[in-house]
Structure 1
Amino acid sequence: MARPTGWTGASACALQAALRLSNESFAARLGIAVRTVAGWHQKSTTRPRPEMQQLLDTTLEQADQAVRERFAALSARPETPAQLSPAEPARQAEPVSAEALRRLDSDHGINDALAWLDDHAGWEPGTARRAVAERLAALDVRELRDRGSRRGRVDQRRIAHALAAYYRDVVEDHGRYTVRHDGGAETETSILTRPGWLDLNCSLTTGGDRLAVDGTPAAALRLDAEAADHGVRRLAETLALDIRLTDMPLYRLTGTAVDQGGIGGTLALSRFVEYACTMDLLEGELVDALATGAPVEPGSLPLRDRHLPDLASVLDLAGRLCAGGTLALCAIARPADPFRGPADYVLLVQERSGHVVNAARRLAVIPKGFHQPMTDVRADARLGATLRREMEEELFGREDIDNTVSDQRRADPMHPSRLSAPMRWLSEEFGRLRMECTGFGLNLVSGNFEFAGVIVVDDEDFWTRFGGEIEANWESHGLRQYSSLDSGLISELIGEVAWSNEGLFAMLQGLRRLSEIGGDRVNLPAMNWEVRE
C-alpha cells in the first residue's frame, strides 16, 4: 500500500497521527532519530530519503485496517500549496496539523476535557470528540493565527477602558485600580478592588497566609447547547494552535477576609477544564470585539452577558466560578559592579508565550500561576505554597512539578530533598526569602481573583551564586531584567501597553512596596493609587 506519489513530511506525520504515536514512539517504530520526525512536523514539504520512503511504506502496509482508514482520511486533506491548481485563489485554508489530530485521540488532558464536556452537556460518551473533530476539519489555522495577531494589537489600555464602559453600575467602596505616576501620568487597569485590599504588605507565612479549603461542593454545572458549542470551539482551537491543556484541579475562591492583618478566605475545588470552557472565554470575546470595531456594551457580548453581566455578579464569589492565582514582582539584590554600577535589585519581567491559556503574548511579572493544589489540598491552599512552586517551575527549571509536562507522582514534590539548588539555599535560613502579598483584586477581564505579591532576596550572595541559573520556562517567550535604580526605564516600562492587567497591577503594587523597603538600592518613580468608580 505504498503512496503512489511518494512520502512527504506531511504524509509521514499523517501516518504518525493515524497510528496515534508520539514523536518518540513513532521514531522508535521506524528505527530513526526523534529529530527526523520533528523535522517532518516543521517542514511538511520535505521528501524523505528513498530508504526512509521504504520504511514508511512498510509501516503503512503492516498497519491494521483502522489505521489505514484514519491515514486515508488524513491524507485526503491538502498538504502543500503546490497542490493548488492555477484556477484556485492564492490564499487557501491551512488545515490543522497531524499532531493536532493525534492529540485529539491520545492527549490525556484533551481526553479529560472531552469527557467533562460530554458529562456536563448531557451528551452520550464520544459526542464531544466527534464534534471537536468536525470543528477541526473546518478550521483554517492561518485564520486563527491572523486572529491572534489582531488580538495582539488590542492593548491593555483599550481593554481597561472598554470594561469601564461595560460595567456602569457602582458598588460602594469598590472601583478600578488606577495609579498616577511621573508627575501626572495615569495608568488604569481592569482590576476591581477597594482601599482595604491595597498596600497589604502581609508576610506570606503561617500567621498572615490563612486561605483555607472549606469543603463546600460547587453547584452542579449544566451546559446548554450554546455553552457546549463554545466548549467544543475552545477545544478545537486549543488543538489547532498547539496550546497545552491539562485538566488539573483549581482552587475557586468562595469568600474573602483580606486586610493588612492577613490574607483570609475560603476556597473550594474546581477543574481547569470548567474554567477554560466558561470564564476564560470572556477575554477572547471582548478582545475580538475590540479588534473588529464591534460594540462593547451590555447585550453585545453574549458570554459576558451570561457569566459576568455586572459588578454584583463579579463580587458574588460563592455564586460563580472564581478561579485565579497569585503573581509577584521578583526583586533580587545584586552587588555593585564596575561595569553595571552601584548595588541594586534586578527586577524580572516576562513576555508570555503564545502557548499559554492565560495572558498569552502579554507582559507580566514572574512568577505567575494559577492557585491550585499539587498533592496536599489543605496545605497548598496558602498563597506562599503556590509562589514557591511557581518559582521552582518558572525560574529554577523544575519540570517535574509542571503538570503540563508530566504527571505528579511524588508524595511531597516540594520536600527539601527535591528542591533546586537556588530554592534550597533560600530555604536553609529563615529570612533569605521574603514573600509578601501587596494587594488583592478581581479582574474584570474574566472574573479571576488576583493576589499581587512581591518576592525579595536581600542577600547579594544569591545572585552571585545562582544568577546564571535563573531561566524562564516554556510559559515565557522572553525574560527581561530591569535595575531598581533606573527610574527612567521603569517609568517607560509602566507605560507599555503590552501588559496584562493583572501583571501591571502586581508590578505597580510591588514597586510601591520595594520603594519602602529597598533603601539605597532603589530609585523608583513616585506612585499614588486611587480606586476609581
Structure 2
Amino acid sequence: MATVHEWTGLEALALRKALRLSVRAYSEHLGVAVNTISNWEKHRATRRPNTESQAILDTALAQADATTHVRFETELAKLGEGGDPAASVARVTIPRPRAWEYESWSEDIERTVVALSHQNFAFATDLLHRWTSRYSTSDLDERGLYLLARAAALQGDLKRDQGAVVGPLSAQRSYAGARSLYTQLQIPRRVAQLDLSLAVVTEMAGDLEPAARQYEDLAGDERLAARDRARARLWVGTALSKDGHHDYAARVMESAIREFEDLSEQEDWSVAQQKLALAHRGAGNLDAALRLIDVARSTGVTESPMQRVRLDTAYGHILLSDPATLDDGLHVLDDAAKRAAQYGLTHQLRSITDIRRTADGASSPTRR
C-alpha cells in the first residue's frame, strides 16, 4: 500500500478523490473543518497540514481498502501532471508490487483455495507459482508478506493432500515457512493455525504421541477460533485411535462433536462422525461403527474428491472388519483407490493399500 511520508494539500486532495467524497463528507470523515480542507486543496503542494492532521490523514489512508489505494495512486499521478510529479513522488512511497498486483494476487489465492477443494493440484500449483516465483521477501511490504505467507500455507495444504508430508519439498517445509512469516508479521492467530497444520503433518508422518500432545495443547489455545480448537480436540482423538486407544479416543471425539453442534459446523460434525466410526471399529463396536459411518456418508460433503475417498475408505475399512461383509469392503476400497489415483491423492492411496494388506493378512488363513 502507498505510504505518505509528508502530507500536503496535493496528497489530501488525491485521497478525497480516491475516497469519492465531497469536501463536506470528507471533512466529516476526517473530523476536520471544511475550511481547512478547502485551504489544503487551494494551495495543494505548498500547504502542509499540521502534525495532528498529518496523523489523521495517515489513519484515513491506512484504513482505506485496496481499491481506494489504487485510486489514490492514480489520482496522485493525474494531479502530478499539472505540477511537479517528482515533488509528490518524493513524499509518497508506492511499493512494488503495486496495489492492483496485490489485488490480482489475492484473487489468485482465492482461486487456489477453490482449486484445492476440488483437488485440482496442477491448476493450484500454477496459481501459486505465478506469484511466489516473482517476488522475494525483500521486495514486499507487510501486505505482500501476508500474501506470501498465505501462499506458503496453501502450498503446504497442496503438498499435504498430495502426500508429500516431510522433506525438502514438503508440507512441513511450506508450513514452517508460512509460520515464520506470520510470526514476523505478529499475527498470532495465523501462527497458531500453522501450529495446527504442523501437528497434522506430525500425525501423518506416524508420530502419533507427539501429535496428540500438540493437538491437546492447541485445543485450549485462545489464539485459535472456537472451530479450530474443536478441530484440534477431534484430532487428539484421531491420533489416539490410530495409536490403539480407541475407547478413550471415542470419548474425546464425542466432546468435539458436541462443540461442533454448538457452533453449528455441519461439515466438521459430519467429518467427526466418520472419525468416531473408525474409533468404534477399532474398539470392536461394529454396529455403532456402521451406524456412524452411515450418518457421515449421508450428511458429509461429497463434492470434494478427497472427502469422498476418505468416506469410502472409512466405510470399506469397517466392512472389512466383519467376515460377512469382507468382499463388499474390498469392492468399496477398490473404488476409493481408483479415485485416489485419479486425483493424485498419494497419502490416501497408501492408507488404502495398508488397510488391504492388513485385511489380506488377517483373512489368509481362513481363505486357505
Pairwise TM-score range, normalised by the shorter structure? 0.3 to 0.5
Superposition TM-score, scaled by structure 2 size: 0.35
Superposition TM-score, scaled by structure 1 size: 0.27
Higher strand share: 1
Higher helix share: 2
**Bigger relative contact order (CA 8 A; separation at least 6):** 1
